[in-house]
């Protein structure tokens, strides 16, 4: 097969420019990485890109292939052409290749990973030092810290991460908030929250429960979609949120983000759908404790009232009993799974 590769080329601080390379005799099973090698070896030795294992292990070859972040050594030509709406250049099937997003370009497809590593470090991605000490001073015991298979199973998904940057590249929250630590870091954070040997769980949940942490995620699902190792970072973020909510009592001291989640479920359980009036008072006003926040809501409330958008009464939904049963059933299954029982 003859194909066109449209590669976005760039030197740092210069505008990017697409350059097209034509490759002949390309088999459908040829990886994108092998195509790039051919460009470099046969057509233009100045093309820059990262690679190492060529086998979906090292995470070096992350890049955008037809607009979607992926590993160049995992994607092949046939599948790539079939997966995306057909693109052609001069009548040839074409594949567009660009550097990862959310990271500055060094040259061509090579990006500066420093922000990625900095964000990973922000979640303190190591088992706490105290957990590595054995209180008895028995060095042999300290060397062998055992875990049950079911404890280890909770770490398996996050443990698959090869730090390729595909999720980070597609993350909308990262794009909007440079301080958001990113899906890779939060996946690693879940691994430490569920690590039975770690002794800093409470401090970690406090640290991760911010808008630069789990509450900053917009749940766009892109990280789950592009991750080549099935880490499912969004699911890991959900695990951390569940741990935060499970540990935080319904108290005035709970953060607004926690009150938001808890109040949402409470009001739906009470009336079958959200009672906006209670929601605003409990979440924003913290049950009349935060009078400043209630006063700040005043102008909006007045506008809504005059436009008929703020009902003075609340009618429970006809299906409230079923909604309540559903919420209770989900809570019961969650409680069973937390106690290691099979909820089925």
Residue 311 C-beta: closest distance to ligand SF4, Å:
33
Could you give the CA distance from residue 210 to residue 180 in angstroms, rounded to a whole number?
Answer: 9
Helices in 54-97 by DSSP H: which ranges?
77-83
Could you give the CA distance from residue 17 to residue 10 in angstroms, rounded to a whole number?
Answer: 6
Residue 166 C-beta: closest distance to ligand FES, Å:
10
Contact code string over 63-82 relative to ligand FES, x by CB under 6 A: --------x-x---------
In sequence order, the 6+-apart residues with CB closer than 8 A to the CB of 95 are 3, 4, 5, 6, 32, 35, 65, 66, 77, 80, 81, 87
Residue 51 C-beta: closest distance to ligand FES, Å:
4
- Confirm if 286 and 293 have CB atoms less than 8 A apart: yes
Kindly identify the residues of this chain, within the stretch 79-108, that bind ligand FES according to CB under 6 A.
none
Which of 5, 26, 59, 119: binder of ligand FES (CB under 6 A)? 59
Paired tokens of 238: 């959900």
Contact code string over 185-224 relative to ligand SF4, x by CB under 6 A: --x-----------------------------xxxxxxx-
SS3 of 76, please? Answer: strand
Helix axes 201-208 and 183-193, enclosed angle (nearest 10): 160
Residues in the chain, overall count:
344
How would you label 21-32 residue by residue, b for 16+ Cβ within 10 Å and e otherwise?
A: bebeebeeebbb
When the beta carbons of 50 and 188 are compared against ligand FES, the nearer one is 50
Size of the residue set binding ligand SF4 (CB under 6 A): 27
- Confirm if 105 and 97 have CB atoms less than 8 A apart: no
Residue 160 C-beta: closest distance to ligand SF4, Å:
7
Q: How many C-beta atoms surround the C-beta of residue 158 within 10 A?
A: 25
Kindly identify the residues of this chain, within the stretch 127-166, that bind ligand SF4 according to CB under 6 A.
161-166
Stretch in the footprint of ligand SF4 (CB under 6 A) among 127-135, 169-177, 264-272, 300-308? 169-177
Which of 12, 18, 27, 57: binder of ligand FES (CB under 6 A)? 57
Residue 78 C-beta: closest distance to ligand FES, Å:
18
Residue 58 C-beta: closest distance to ligand FES, Å:
3
Report how far apart, in Å, the C-alpha atoms of 284 and of each of 154, 249, 271, 277 are.
Answer: 35, 17, 20, 11
Kindly identify the residues of this chain, within the stretch 223-282, that bind ligand SF4 according to CB under 6 A.
223, 227, 229, 231, 233-234, 237
Paired tokens of 303: 């506008």
Stretch in the footprint of ligand SF4 (CB under 6 A) among 182-190, 194-202, 255-263, 326-334? 182-190
109 touches, from ligand SF4, ligand FES, none (C-beta below 5 to 8 Å by class): none
Contacting residues toward ligand FES, per CB under 6 A: 51-54, 56-61, 71, 73
Contacting residues toward ligand SF4, per CB under 6 A: 161-167, 170-173, 183-184, 187, 217-223, 227, 229, 231, 233-234, 237
């Amino acid at each position: 097969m003859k194909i066109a590769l449209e590669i976005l080329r760039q030197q740092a601080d210069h505008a990017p420019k697409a350059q097209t390379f034509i490759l002949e005799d390309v088999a459908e099973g040829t990886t994108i990485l092998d195509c790039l090698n051919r460009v470099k070896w046969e057509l233009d030795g100045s093309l820059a890109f990262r690679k190492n294992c060529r086998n979906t292990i090292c995470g070096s070859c992350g890049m955008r292939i037809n607009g979607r972040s992926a590993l160049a050594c995992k994607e092949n030509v046939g599948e790539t052409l079939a997966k995306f709406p057909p693109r052609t250049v001069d009548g040839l099937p074409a594949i567009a290749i660009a550097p990862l997003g959310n990271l500055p370009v060094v040259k061509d497809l090579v990006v500066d990973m420093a922000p990625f590593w900095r964000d990973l470090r922000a979640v303190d991605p190591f088992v706490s030092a105290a957990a590595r000490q054995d209180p008895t001073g028995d060095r042999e015991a300290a060397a062998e810290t055992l875990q049950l298979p079911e404890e280890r199973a909770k770490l398996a998904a996050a443990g698959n991460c090869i730090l390729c940057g595909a999720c980070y590249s597609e993350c909308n929250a990262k794009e909007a908030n440079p301080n958001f630590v990113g899906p890779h870091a939060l996946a690693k954070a879940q691994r430490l929250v569920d690590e039975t040997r770690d002794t800093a769980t409470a401090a970690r949940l406090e640290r991760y429960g911010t808008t630069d942490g789990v509450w900053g995620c917009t749940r766009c699902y892109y990280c789950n979609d592009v991750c080549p190792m099935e880490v499912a970072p969004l699911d890991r973020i959900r695990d951390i949120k569940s741990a935060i909510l499970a540990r935080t009592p319904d108290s005035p001291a709970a953060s607004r983000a926690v009150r938001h989640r808890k109040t949402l479920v409470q009001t739906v359980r009470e009336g079958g759908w959200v009672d906006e009036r209670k929601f605003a008072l409990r979440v924003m006003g913290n049950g009349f404790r935060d009078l400043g926040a209630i006063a700040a809501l005043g102008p909006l409330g007045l506008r809504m009232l005059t436009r008929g958008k703020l009902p003075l009464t609340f009618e429970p939904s006809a299906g409230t009993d079923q909604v309540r049963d559903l919420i209770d059933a989900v809570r019961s299954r969650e409680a069973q799974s937390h106690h290691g029982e099979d909820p089925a």
